[in-house]
């Protein structure tokens, strides 16, 4: 039972500022922190801390010191990083300004994350070992499709179609190779190209075995064929909601892997149970600052769910 996450890995450079600067303006930050980020790496950490499954991360970093440090941090978390390649690019970087009210402005330089659009043989071997492949769209769509094609017979492909812009351009090809689609409300509307959530759900659910639409503090909607159920969010006081969705996706994937079931055995109960695990972990994550650093362990989640 293993989860293989193919995706982005970034260094997040986070400056605290009194307010977001206007064009042409220079402001002094009150603090600066560098942390691990990127949807792919965040989801791998969440899957690993959920326990119950081996986790590997497949991605690309640059030849700079940041890349080596990010790779080492994942390894220290117990994640297999044999599928992380070094490319002649800068490591992906997110420049994040957070103002006094918690509002942020973010610039992402994809760097190494955008450098390759197919797996190396070694990366392909890691993907082939997965019982659950988990992907997102901060890497080239072609790389996601290559990964989906490289997964073994009976392995799940869980696609978190975020951000939504690349998904819209390759939707049908991606969905044809997806078992479970996870989107937030905004991404569901964008992906389906409609204005009402019900229409988006109907449209997206037609082509995948399982669909999960996350709704922030309103929980999520789980859909399998003609059946659907709502999974409520836990009531918490949010401190930092960055990475809530990443925690949710990683933990859901780990729960599917731990179930030992194959995608042709998916049903509403299995998917809703996995979503409940994701909801508990992500609720805890929003009560803590940061994204990757905020992901709870399975023991912390178990205590929280009691």
List Cβ neighbours of 95 (8 Å cut-off, separation of 6 or more). Answer: 13, 15, 106, 107, 108, 109
Contact 180, 210 (CB under 8 A): yes
217 contact, one of Na ion, ligand ADP, none, CB 5-8 Å limit per kind:
ligand ADP
DSSP strands (E only) in the chain? 2-6, 10-16, 31-37, 54-61, 80-86, 92-98, 104-109, 132-135, 156-160, 180-184, 210-214, 220-224, 227-231
Beta bridge partners of 220: 214, 231
Q: Would you count residue 294 as binding Na ion (CB under 5 A)?
A: yes
Q: Would you count residue 113 as binding ligand ADP (CB under 6 A)?
A: no
Q: How far is the CB of 219 from ligand ADP (least distance, A)?
A: 5
Instruction: Enumerate residues 224-253 that contact ligand ADP by CB under 6 A.
Output: 233-234, 236, 238, 241, 244-245, 248
Q: Would you count residue 240 as binding Na ion (CB under 5 A)?
A: yes
Instruction: Enumerate residues 163-192 that contact ligand ADP by CB under 6 A.
Output: 184
Residue linked to tokens 């890995």: 9
Q: Would you count residue 144 as binding ligand ADP (CB under 6 A)?
A: no
Q: Would you count residue 96 as binding Na ion (CB under 5 A)?
A: no
Q: How many chain residues bind ligand ADP (CB under 6 A)? A: 19
Closest alpha carbon to 137 in 40, 35, 249: 40
Is 246 an annotated catalytic residue? yes
Q: Would you count residue 283 as binding ligand ADP (CB under 6 A)?
A: yes
Nearer to ligand ADP, 228 or 234 (CB): 234
Show which residues are catalytic. Answer: 246
């Amino acid at each position: 039972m293993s989860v293989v996450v193919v995706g982005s890995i970034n260094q997040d450079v986070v400056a605290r500022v009194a307010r977001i600067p206007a064009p042409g303006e220079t402001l002094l930050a009150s603090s600066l922190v560098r942390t691990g980020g990127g949807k792919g790496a965040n989801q791998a950490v969440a899957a690993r801390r959920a326990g119950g499954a081996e986790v590997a991360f497949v991605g690309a970093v640059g030849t700079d010191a940041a890349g080596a440090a990010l790779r080492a941090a994942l390894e220290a978390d117990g994640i297999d990083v044999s599928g992380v390649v070094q490319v002649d690019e800068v490591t992906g970087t997110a420049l994040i300004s957070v103002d006094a009210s918690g509002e942020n402005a973010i610039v992402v330089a994809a760097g190494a994350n955008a450098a390759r659009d197919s797996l190396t043989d070694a990366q392909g071997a890691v993907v082939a070992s997965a019982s659950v492949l988990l992907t997102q769209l901060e890497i080239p769509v072609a790389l996601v499709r290559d990964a989906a094609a490289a997964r073994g017979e009976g392995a799940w492909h869980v696609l978190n179609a975020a951000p939504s812009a690349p998904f819209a351009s390759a939707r049908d090809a991606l969905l044809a190779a997806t078992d479970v689609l996870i989107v937030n409300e905004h991404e569901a509307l964008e992906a389906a190209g409609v204005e009402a959530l019900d229409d988006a759900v109907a449209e997206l659910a037609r082509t995948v075995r399982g669909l999960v639409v996350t709704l922030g503090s309103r929980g999520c909607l789980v859909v399998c064929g003609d059946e659907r159920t709502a999974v409520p969010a836990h009531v918490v006081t949010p401190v930092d909601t960055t990475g809530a969705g990443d925690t949710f996706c990683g933990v859901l994937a780990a729960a599917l892997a731990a179930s030992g079931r194959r995608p042709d055995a998916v049903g509403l109960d299995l998917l809703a149970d996995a979503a409940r695990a994701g909801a508990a972990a992500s609720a805890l994550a929003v009560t803590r600052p940061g994204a990757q650093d905020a992901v709870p362990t399975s023991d912390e989640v178990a205590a929280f769910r009691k």
